């Protein structure tokens, strides 16, 4: 536990350290890489509540990532073209304000998670995986065939959205913003893990009958966890779209959902910082290995296989030498 | 006579052609231990599941504290005051002993929708859980993981979690199973005192414990209750002897 805290702190501080060094050496690309790692980590931190603590293997979290992305894309494109967005019942203006976009992304993905959760959480195991996957594919093919916002080609936003008091076009300032969001979400997730809700959710993963016997509903616990989880991944989606100034259906793809799971497994399932370690490692390997060979995913696959076979606790587990600390 | 706290009224349950529970009626009165015995395959587990809310009877009703709970699920019956322990321990094995007891206290106090406060630092919930562990003698191992406990300690923890619920009725499925002679004697002593807090519907194979504890015994054979009565009645019942007790040579 003690060693894990030290390791977590080191990993967490490594991100801003890398960004700071890159700033001094004037290498904006590296700052962008660190920002990308932080955003992907945020998406997986969201999934980790459902998957790690709740034991819900969702292969559909790209739905929330994509919804966050398109929430940004649609709002920003309407602001860009000065054409209000007609929703039938009412008409809203587009916006370039990050706080408004984030709020929209969080609300939309939370609602989607509520609806998907209501259906998918009635099943378990492989059926749950398949239903979440099916929802992901539905959104993926819908965005491909929906021409209004770019369809298959995606949607470009020319200028990054704004945040009060910051110049978000400056890579280091945008990184700082993303990192602050990640830090706040990690703090909140840490609190949730230790709360009464977290204890009940972790117990529902280990033994659903135990939770029922003390008068609690595993379904309600899982549904709430799924909604929080989806909302966080949706927020990450809005940031990811802003990083790239581009949204496309690939944000909804099942490969995206798979990558989030890979981050968690790589870092250590059920550990607060597991997804952060996993995402950083993934982005680093992607950067290093893709320079060596275009078939870099083969090497990544081999590393993942090694972790799954020999280091069940992920990289954190291997370094700390203990099982998952919460439940 | 006082009104029964738990009343099973003409409950039947079939699986295909098998009548696992066949027109069973029994009551649990305040202050008593009512033991349910019967040979393997008699349908004790199926009946327990229906009382706990895990299975819905085909016909018949289950009244709890005067209220029809037949349609309620396990969680709702627990909220109504049913404290169940399992034959095979159903605990969070990765969690500590104290965390398991704390979860019971959380369920009892309906404080589960709290997201920001550390539950292990909630002094109300924690002291409630610690008191339950203390009663069954598990205070010394409170910080151990359940996975590291002995079988007997897990049985005690099952009981401790049920205690945190402050139930109106205990439903205990073979609490002596797998306990040695010493453990069994300790558990018997503990349950003996517990009946004054809340009556116990006890399913048990250990006949020494059953005859030492029970105020009344019901004998279940092939899904039917063939006899209900005091331990003395059951001992002298010819039908019970041939159906069940004779096989085990009990006198």
| Concatenated DSSP letters of A167-186 | -TTSHHHHHHHHHHHHHHHH
Tell me the CA distances in angstroms from B238 to A61, A272, B204, B227, one per residue in order. Answer: 65, 64, 21, 10
Reference A233, options A39, A1, A28, A9; nearest CA is A39
Q: Give residue B247's pLDDT.
A: 55
Reference B183, options B155, B147, B211, B213; nearest CA is B155
Contact B92 A209 (CB under 8 A): no
Instruction: For A50-106, write each residue's pLDDT tens digit.
Output: 999 999 999 999 999 999 999 999 999 999 888 888 877 788 888 999 999 999 999
**Minimal Cα–Cα distance from B95 to chain A, Å?**
6
Q: Give residue A1's pLDDT.
A: 57
Reference B95, options B155, B141, B151, B164; nearest CA is B141
Question: Confidence class of residue B243 from pLDDT cuts 50, 70 and 90?
Answer: confident
- Average pLDDT over all residues of chain A: 92
Q: Which residue of B has its CA nearest to A216?
A: B75
Q: Which residue of B has its CA nearest to A194?
A: B118
The helix (H) or strand (E) run that includes residue B192 is helix B181-194
Contact A197 B102 (CB under 8 A): no
Question: Confidence class of residue B239 from pLDDT cuts 50, 70 and 90?
Answer: confident
Tell me the CA distances in angstroms from A327 to B10, B39, B75, B107, one per residue in order. Answer: 42, 39, 20, 16
Chain A residue numbers with beta carbons less than 8 Å from the beta carbon of B169 are none
A264 pLDDT higher than 90: yes
Chain B residue numbers with beta carbons less than 8 Å from the beta carbon of A206 are 92-95
CB B43 within 8 A of CB B220: yes
Q: Which residue of B has its CA nearest to A228?
A: B115
Taking residue B52's Cβ as centre, other Cβ atoms within 10 Å add up to 21
CB A191 within 8 A of CB A35: no
Query: Which residues, listed in sequence order, are joined to residue B28 by a DSSP beta bridge?
Result: B6
Reference A242, options A76, A79, A10, A57; nearest CA is A76
Pairing assessment for the beta strands A91-92 and A155-156 based on DSSP bridges: unpaired
Tokens of B162: 């049920």
Which of 1.10.3720.10, 2.160.10.10, 3.40.120.10, 3.40.50.300 would CATH assign to domain B1-81+167-251? 3.40.50.300
Chain A residue numbers with beta carbons less than 8 Å from the beta carbon of B84 are 213
A324 pLDDT higher than 50: no
Q: Which residues, at least 6 apart from A99, have a Cβ–Cβ distance to it below 8 Å?
A: A163, A164
Taking residue A316's Cβ as centre, other Cβ atoms within 10 Å add up to 28
Average pLDDT, integer, range B12-41: 93
Q: Give residue A327's pLDDT.
A: 34
Q: Give residue B246's pLDDT.
A: 56
Q: Give residue A129's pLDDT.
A: 96
* CA–CA separation, B229 and A107 (whole Å): 62
Q: Which of B99, B115, B122 sits opposite A192 (nearest CB)?
A: B115
Query: Which residues, listed in sequence order, are joined to residue B227 by a DSSP beta bridge?
Result: B219
Q: Give residue A325's pLDDT.
A: 46
Average pLDDT, integer, range A29-39: 96
Name the residue with tokens 């292990």: B120
Instruction: For B188-229, write each residue's pLDDT tens digit.
Output: 999 999 999 999 999 998 899 999 999 999 999 999 999 999
Chain A residue numbers with beta carbons less than 8 Å from the beta carbon of B79 are 215
Residues of chain B with CATH 3.40.50.300: 1-81+167-251
* CA–CA separation, A221 and A195 (whole Å): 13
Q: Give residue B251's pLDDT.
A: 43
ipTM of this complex: 0.92
**Minimal Cα–Cα distance from A195 to chain B, Å?**
5
Contact A213 B161 (CB under 8 A): yes
- Average pLDDT over all residues of chain B: 92
Please, what are the domains in chain A?
2-320 (1.10.3470)
Highest mean pLDDT among B18-22, B101-105, B110-114: B101-105
* CA–CA separation, A29 and A23 (whole Å): 10
Average pLDDT, integer, range A275-293: 90
A23 pLDDT higher than 80: yes
B13 pLDDT higher than 50: yes
Q: Give residue B245's pLDDT.
A: 58
Tell me the CA distances in angstroms from B101 to A192, B125, B163, one per residue in order. Answer: 19, 9, 9
Instruction: For A121-168, write each residue's pLDDT tens digit.
Output: 999 999 999 999 999 999 999 999 998 898 899 999 999 999 999 999
Higher pLDDT, A312 or A61: A61
* CA–CA separation, B52 and A190 (whole Å): 35
B249 pLDDT higher than 50: no
Tokens of B193: 């005192």
Packing angle of the helix pair A28-48, A274-292 (nearest 10 deg): 140
Contact A210 B92 (CB under 8 A): yes
């Amino acid at each position: 536990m003690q060693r894990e805290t030290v390791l977590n702190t080191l990993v967490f501080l490594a991100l801003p350290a890398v960004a700071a060094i890159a700033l001094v050496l004037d290498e904006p690309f590296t700052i962008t890489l660190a920002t990308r790692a932080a955003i992907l980590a945020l998406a997986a931190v969201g999934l980790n509540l459902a998957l790690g603590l709740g034991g819900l293997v969702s292969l559909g979290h790209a739905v929330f990532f994509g919804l966050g992305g398109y929430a940004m894309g649609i709002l920003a494109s309407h602001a860009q073209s000065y054409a209000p967005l007609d929703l039938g019942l009412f008409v809203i203006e587009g916006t370039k304000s990050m706080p408004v976009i984030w709020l929209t992304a969080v609300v939309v993905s939370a609602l989607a998670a509520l609806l998907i959760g209501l259906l998918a959480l009635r099943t378990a195991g492989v059926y749950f995986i398949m239903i979440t996957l099916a929802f992901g594919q539905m959104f993926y093919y819908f965005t491909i065939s929906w021409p209004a916002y770019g369809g298959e080609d995606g949607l470009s936003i020319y200028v990054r959205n704004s945040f009060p008091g910051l110049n978000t076009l400056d890579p280091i300032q945008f990184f700082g913003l993303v990192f602050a969001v990640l830090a706040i979400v990690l703090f909140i997730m840490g609190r949730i893990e230790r709360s009464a809700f977290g204890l009940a959710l972790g117990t529902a993963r280990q033994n659903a009958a135990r939770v029922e016997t003390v008068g609690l509903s595993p379904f309600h616990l899982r549904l709430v966890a799924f909604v929080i989880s989806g909302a966080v991944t949706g927020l990450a989606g809005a940031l990811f779209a802003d990083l790239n100034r581009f949204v496309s259906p690939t944000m909804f793809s099942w490969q995206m959902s798979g990558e989030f799971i890979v981050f968690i497994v790589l870092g250590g399932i059920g550990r607060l910082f597991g997804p952060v370690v996993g995402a950083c490692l993934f982005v680093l390997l992607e950067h290093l290995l893709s320079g060596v060979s275009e078939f870099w995913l083969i090497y990544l696959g081999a590393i993942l296989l090694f972790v799954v076979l020999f280091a069940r606790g992920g990289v954190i587990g291997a370094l700390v030498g203990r099982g998952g600390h919460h439940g | 006579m006082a009104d029964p706290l738990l009343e099973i009224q003409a409950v039947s349950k079939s699986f295909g052609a098998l009548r696992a529970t066949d027109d069973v009626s029994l009551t649990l009165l305040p202050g008593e231990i009512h033991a349910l015995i019967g040979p393997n395959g008699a349908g004790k587990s199926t009946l327990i599941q229906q009382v706990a809310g895990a299975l819905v009877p085909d016909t018949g009703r289950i009244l709890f504290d005067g209220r029809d709970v037949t349609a309620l699920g396990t969680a709702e019956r627990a909220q109504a005051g049913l404290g169940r322990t399992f034959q095979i321990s159903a605990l969070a094995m990765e969690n500590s002993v104290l965390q398991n007891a704390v979860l019971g206290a959380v369920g009892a106090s309906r404080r589960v929708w709290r997201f920001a406060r550390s539950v292990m630092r909630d002094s109300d919930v924690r002291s409630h859980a610690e008191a339950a562990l203390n009663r069954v003698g598990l205070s010394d191992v409170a910080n151990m993981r359940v996975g590291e406990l002995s079988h007997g300690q897990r049985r005690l923890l099952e009981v401790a979690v049920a205690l945190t619920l402050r139930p109106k009725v205990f439903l205990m499925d073979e609490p002596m199973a797998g306990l040695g002679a010493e453990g069994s004697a300790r558990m018997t002593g503990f349950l003996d005192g517990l009946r004054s807090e809340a009556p116990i519907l006890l399913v048990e194979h250990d006949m020494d414990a059953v005859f030492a504890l029970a105020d009344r015994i019901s004998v279940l054979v092939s899904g039917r209750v063939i006899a209900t009565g005091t331990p003395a009645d059951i001992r002298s019942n010819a039908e019970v002897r041939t159906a069940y007790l004779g096989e085990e040579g009990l006198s």
